[in-house]
Amino acid sequence: MSDSNVLEDARPSASPARGEERRAFIKSFGCQMNVYDAERMADIAAEEGYREAQRAEDADLIVLNTCHIRERASEKIYSELGKLKELKDQRRRAGRGVTLIVAGCLAQAEGAEILRRQPAVDVVVGPQSYHRLPELLREARLRPGVVAADFPAEDKFARLPPATPDAIARRGVAAFVTVQEGCDKFCSFCVVPYTRGAESSRSVRAVVDEIARLAAAGVREVMLLGQNVNAYHGRDGDGRPVGLAELIRAAAAVPGIARLRYATSHPGDMNEELIAAHRDVAALAPYLHLPVQSGSDRVLKAMNRRHRAADYLDIVARARAARPDIAFSSDFIVGYPGETDADFEATLRLIRNVGFASAYAFKYSPRPGTPAAEAAGQIDASIKERRLAELQALVEDQRQAFNQATVGRRLEVLFEKPGRRAGQVAGRSPYMQAVFADGPESLIGVMAQVEIIAAEAHSLRGRVVSPAS
């Protein structure tokens, strides 16, 4: 960026006129942890005097909270940045500046490279540094092109402003709370250990306080988040290490919390205590997102997953013994380097064996810096495509069968918002299924017993049994 641009950005005319309100637009890509981070960045922006904008066109501050997990995710962001550069140029010609921030995992992975590819970016900030946004914004006002992609030692969470009761209420009755970040597993295909750093856990107190604040503002369901959430090892008030099962019990005791979930877990950290929590903690949803990635031991070993297919099936069996109505979802990668037809068949067998309520499947995407990207036996795009389609067809059948099997059952539904039609409300079952039922808006925020009367392509229809609507 030329010096004249720097000066132009620093001129008062680049900011809204006095009295005019400033607005921030934050767009999140990728996983649920990014959604949580985006909300926290919105809290920071609010403290800095920005109101939320619904569209980039209305914003003075634009944040793209990016994902780096697969190649497509990254490419999408560069194309989005191209469009935002145009917007920024237009706005500059109209005498009003826009500050453009790239946050998230792409920011962490590529740092200053982002400025080289798109000089219109003012700030690049990684997931461990976004609590520094106020000072980074001030720096960028003087000299655009600030990069903060280190892993600072300070506790980011302790420095983030809490969400206001208004902001919490606007975000709805189901909320995310990050309890753990980073990953020490180093699966050979995955960038997360490099972009999010080493595993770290928040203290029990910090998590419970945040949940209590959310509950006081109307939140009824919390999903505890971590890249490797079941490796959670926070400390209690006495400095004693605490695992996820105990954290779940502490969270369930917060008044107002009706339902808890957690994601994403690794099979290697699925301990007995956590399985027992599915039996003992009424608020814990009988639904477990537990990525297996492959059903072939050979591929699992090459992936450095540190578990075999049989270990996964054993966890499924033990969880079902503890909580018979528990359902599973998973992530799969097809076309990992060296994956043969026989390996792929083993994955299909595992899927048939478990019977998933839902699943996500991805074509293997080589990520720079990960061991698998350099591995021999990279698989042809056409083979990946074919395997993906076959796997997706199988899990789609299972999803529909699972949905169909809920017809006639009574499920607990937390109503979250108005439905598609007047007089209808929409919520989620314990299994994350969207459920629509006739009823007044006063049901929003209520966990109701709902009899499922039909399964449609992407949702269920139900009748509220209690509380009566």
Regarding 28 and contact with ligand 5AD (CB under 6 A), the answer is no
Q: For tokens 């359902």, what's the residue?
A: 327
Report how far Cα 315 is from the mean position of its chain's Cα atoms.
24
Per CB under 6 A, the list member of 176, 362, 402, 436 interacting with ligand 5AD is 362
Stretch that binds ligand SF4, among 81-89, 118-126, 183-191, 382-390 (CB under 6 A): 183-191
Stretch that binds ligand 5AD, among 59-67, 136-144, 145-153, 357-365 (CB under 6 A): 357-365
Regarding 235 and contact with ligand SF4 (CB under 6 A), the answer is no
Instruction: Output 31 or 146, the one with its CB closest to ligand SF4.
Output: 31
Residue 266 interacts with, from ligand 5AD, ligand SF4, none (CB under 5-8 Å by kind) = ligand SF4
**Site size with ligand 5AD, rule: CB under 6 A:** 12
How would you classify the pairing of strands 259-263 and 424-428?
A: unpaired
Per CB under 6 A, the list member of 50, 189, 344, 431 interacting with ligand 5AD is 189
Per CB under 6 A, the list member of 227, 329, 459, 469 interacting with ligand SF4 is 227
Regarding 185 and contact with ligand SF4 (CB under 6 A), the answer is yes
Binding mask 256-275 toward ligand SF4 (x if CB under 6 A, else -) reads ----------x---------
Regarding 360 and contact with ligand SF4 (CB under 6 A), the answer is no
**Site size with ligand SF4, rule: CB under 6 A:** 10
Residue 227 interacts with, from ligand SF4, ligand 5AD, none (CB under 5-8 Å by kind) = ligand SF4
Residue 36 interacts with, from ligand 5AD, ligand SF4, none (CB under 5-8 Å by kind) = none
Instruction: Output 115 or 351, the one with its CB closest to ligand 5AD.
Output: 351
At closest approach, how far in Å is the CB of 199 from ligand SF4? 9
At closest approach, how far in Å is the CB of 230 from ligand SF4? 10
275-307 exposure pattern, b = at least 16 Cβ within 10 A, e = fewer:
bebbeebebbbbbbbbbbbbbbbebbebbebeb
Contact set for ligand 5AD, span 287-326 (CB under 6 A)? 291, 293
Burial of 168 (0-12, 13-18, 19+ CB in 10 A): buried
Residue ranges that bind ligand 5AD, judged by CB under 6 A: 69-70, 189-190, 291, 293, 331, 333, 362, 364-365, 367
**Residues in contact with ligand SF4 by the rule CB under 6 A:** 183, 185-187, 190, 192-193, 227-228, 266
